[in-house]
Copies of this chain bind each other. A is one copy, B any other.
Amino acid sequence: MKIHEAAENYLETILMLQRRNGTVRSSDIARELGFSKPTVSEYMKGFRMDGYVTVDVDGHISLSPSGLEIAERIYERHVVIAQFLMTLGVDEETAYADSCKIEHDISEKSFRCLQQEYLRRREKLAPSPD
């Protein structure tokens, strides 16, 4: 399985649900993403086989180290890109929606440059009192 946009979104969603609810099952992911149960169930089978998640006897899904690494990378991008867009004057809803797409496309190089610019802008707008 190649990790492209769809896979990254599934992994990111698992991470978010885990942080939000403490525990994640296949049907939670389906609800969150608006997909059918079989779609998610099949996808999780692939993740299991490729070692991105583990599933216990009760159907609770956990990210493996490799799955977690990807999920955290995407989640960081999600937040930083959205925050950055907001410093340009984009409303929160649009910023998050756009970030959700851009996060999968942008290279590491561009992301780091964008992150640096975001930090500079944040500093200017609300200088920390250090």
Copy number in the complex reads 2
Instruction: Identify which of A17-25, A60-68, A99-107, A122-130 touches chain B.
Output: A99-107
A113 contact set on B, CB distance < 8 A = 85, 88-90
Instruction: Name the distance in Å between A11's Cβ and chain B's nearest Cβ.
Output: 19
Question: Binding site of A, secondary structure by majority: helix, strand, loop or mixed?
Answer: helix
By size class, the interface of chain A is 20 to 34
Which one, B95, B106, B107, B110, contacts A110 given CB within 8 A? B95
Instruction: Name the distance in Å between A5's Cβ and chain B's nearest Cβ.
Output: 10
Say if the beta carbon of A109 comes within 8 Å of chain B.
yes
Given contacts A94-B110, A107-B97, A110-B95, are A116 and B102 in contact (CB under 8 A)?
A: no
Q: Apart from A102-B105, A105-B105, list 20 A-B contacts with CB within 8 A.
A: A85-B113, A88-B110, A88-B113, A88-B114, A88-B116, A88-B117, A89-B113, A90-B110, A90-B113, A91-B109, A94-B110, A95-B110, A97-B107, A98-B105, A98-B106, A98-B110, A101-B105, A101-B106, A102-B102, A102-B106
Listed by A's residue number, 15 A-B pairs whose Cβ atoms lie within 8 Å are A85-B113, A88-B116, A89-B113, A89-B116, A90-B109, A94-B107, A94-B110, A95-B110, A97-B107, A98-B106, A98-B110, A101-B106, A102-B105, A102-B106, A105-B105
